[in-house]
Structure formats: C-alpha cells, structure tokens
C-alpha cells in the first residue's frame, strides 16, 4: 500500500510540474487536464514495466516519450512550436519519475 501511495504522490508532483507552465500560458482546461492525468498515470507504467534490461534512469525517459508520442503528433499538426517542449518535458519528467521511484520505492 505504501508503494501505491508513493507512486501516486510522484505522479501528482510530476503532473503539477508539467501543468504549471500550461496554466501560466493560459491553455485550455482540457489540455491541462489531459497533461495532468498523463503524468499521474505514467509512474504506474514506468515502475511496473520491464524493458529488457534497460537501466532504470533511462527507462523513464523512454517510456515517457513513447507514450507521449501520439499526443505530440496530434498537437504538431496544429501547433508546430509546441512539439519540442512536449518532447523535452516527456523525456525529462519521465527520467525524474524513474529517478524518484528508484530512490523512494
């Protein structure tokens, strides 16, 4: 039960870190909610997926980018300049989630 709540806490913190710039830029509430839910769920996937011996710190960035890629492609159709920040945030926050999980869980 402790692992579940720590994973949930890591997801909440990652979601807040991603959503804060979006709120500052005054994006619509659906985009903000979608990003928050993505990062809320992402730690559960990262911590429970085994990627063929990939080191723990690289696993989070790879999974974060891989799962965000369909959304990045959809957003790129409408707003090309948002693509790079989304790629960077998915890799960085995925790595941060993986690191937090390694040290806390």
CA 93/CA 87 separation, integer angstroms: 10
pLDDT in tens, 36-47: 999 999 999 999
Which positions ≥6 away from 54 have C-beta within 8 Å?
62
Look at the chain and report how many structural domains it folds into.
1
pLDDT at 62 over 90: yes
Which positions ≥6 away from 10 have C-beta within 8 Å?
43, 97, 100, 101, 104
Mean pLDDT across the chain, nearest whole number? 94
The alpha-carbon radius of gyration of the chain (Å, integer) is 14
pLDDT in tens, 44-61: 999 999 888 888 889 999
Domain that holds residue 47: 2-104
**pTM, rounded to two decimals:** 0.90
Predicted local distance difference test score (pLDDT) of residue 52: 85
């Amino acid at each position: 039960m402790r692992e579940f709540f720590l994973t949930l806490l890591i997801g909440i913190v990652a979601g807040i870190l991603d959503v804060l710039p979006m709120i500052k830029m005054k994006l619509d509430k659906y985009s903000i909610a979608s990003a928050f839910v993505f990062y809320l769920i992402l730690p559960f996937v990262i911590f429970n997926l085994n990627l063929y011996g990939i080191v723990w710190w690289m696993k989070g960035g790879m999974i974060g980018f891989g799962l965000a890629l369909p959304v990045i492609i959809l957003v790129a159709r409408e707003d090309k300049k948002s693509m790079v920040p989304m790629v960077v945030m998915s890799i960085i926050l995925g790595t941060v989630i993986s690191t937090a999980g390694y040290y806390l869980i």
